[in-house]
Amino acid sequence: MFQGFSEETIRFFLDIRFHNDTSFYRAHEDEYRKYVEEPFYQFIDSMAETMLSIAPDIETRPSKCLARLRRDTRFTKDKSPFRDHLWLLFRRGGESREGSVMYWFELGPDRLVWGLGFWGQNRPAMDALRRRMAEKPQEIRKVLRQCGIPDDTLQIFGDAYQRMKPPAGMPLELAMLYPLKEIYVQRVNIPFESCYQSSLSQIVANDFLRLKPLYLLLRSAADEGRAQLDA
């Protein structure tokens, strides 16, 4: 049962940040298992019922949801072998991160965030979403209203194409989304101390349920975009 993360969780992240080498990790692997991996797994288990109520094909096995502490350094200048934070992803089972729609949760010494969106840029899915904005604007506006976004707790983010202009007359809330390269909604204004409380999983679950209409919309756009590529 998830009881919240602990100060030892954050301490391990800080320690691995300043002693980022394999010998340190091997000497403290038991602490990682007890204070990081175990509570993350408990958190994922506590979220499983909610996630499956959103979509029955979402992967909820903890070992498949939690990122690895060891980094892949093959294609980066930063050769630090370990992360000083961790995230988990809830996405369609068997689907790669790239191009997927996912809920995520991330914790580190200086971050506590969660949300919903694409992993990076996804031009096919965003083009499909843009077509819907133009052809069925009321459908998209209804989803935004159902989710109650944006507000002072869940806000919409994404880099935009500078030269892409929305169609004339498009409603303002859609015109702001139309040129985005990707789209994600992120929780803001959450006290960091919330990570130590057992109620955290319920807070996150409530936000994820609230965003279900957007998940289904993005999921549909991603599938449509992929079908266009395969055609």
Sheet order of strands, 101-108 included: 86-91, 101-108, 111-118, 184-187, 154-157
Cα-trace Rg, the chain: 19
- CATH class of segment(s) 7-230: alpha beta
Which runs of consecutive H residues, i.e. helices, occur in 19-136? 22-27, 29-32, 38-54, 62-65, 123-135
So what's the pLDDT on residue 19?
95
Distance (Å, rounded) from C-alpha 180 to C-alpha 166? 10
Query: Where exactly are the structural domains of the chain?
Result: 7-230
Query: What's CA 159's distance to the chain center, in Å?
Result: 16
Digitized pLDDT (tens) for each residue of the chain, 231 residues in all? 999 999 999 999 999 999 999 999 999 999 999 999 999 999 999 999 999 999 999 999 999 999 999 998 787 777 889 999 999 999 999 988 777 899 999 999 999 999 999 988 889 999 999 999 999 999 999 999 999 999 999 999 999 999 999 999 999 999 999 999 999 999 999 999 999 999 999 999 999 999 999 999 999 999 999 887 776
Dist CA 157 CA 154 (whole Å): 10
Q: What is the dihedral of CA 176, 104, 221, 127, to 10 degrees?
A: 50
137: preceding bond cis by omega (within 30 degrees): no
Structure confidence at residue 231 (pLDDT): 66
pLDDT on residue 121: 85
Residue 11: the pLDDT is 98
pLDDT value for 227: 86
